[in-house]
């Protein structure tokens, strides 16, 4: 988990420096590891929409939905609101 948090923080820094591709690589690493926070999913969707890579945005949202449905503990207070947010964003992209 610490490595994934580091990836998110480094990704934020890279975005601020204008290295979007570097940030994408770090966020995608976290998505592949099924990170249970929303940051890499949110950032990738924003970046991919900006780059007109809608299929990539949809792919990331589908993974986020799967993670929040199956990996995030049911008792986590923000699970349902975040899950609903991902589903809403996906429905707007279709």
d(CA 43, CA 23): 9
pTM, to two decimals: 0.95
Per-residue pLDDT reduced to its tens digit, 37-79: 999 999 999 999 999 999 999 999 999 999 999 999 999 999 9
Q: What residue numbers bound the domain in which 55 lies?
A: 2-93
**Domain total in the chain:** 1
d(CA 19, CA 39): 17
CATH of the domain at 27: 1.25.40.10
- Mean pLDDT along residues 2-12: 97
* DSSP labels, 13-41: HHHHTT-HHHHHHHHHHHHHTT-SSSHHH
């Amino acid at each position: 988990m610490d490595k994934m948090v580091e990836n998110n923080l480094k990704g934020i820094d890279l975005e601020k420096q204008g290295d979007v591709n570097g940030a994408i690589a770090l966020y995608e690493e976290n998505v592949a590891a099924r990170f249970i926070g929303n940051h890499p999913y949110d950032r990738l969707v924003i970046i991919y929409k900006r780059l007109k890579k809608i299929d990539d945005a949809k792919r990331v949202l589908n993974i986020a939905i799967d993670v929040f449905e199956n990996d995030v503990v049911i008792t986590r207070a923000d699970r349902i609101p975040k899950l609903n947010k991902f589903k809403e964003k996906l429905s707007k992209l279709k």
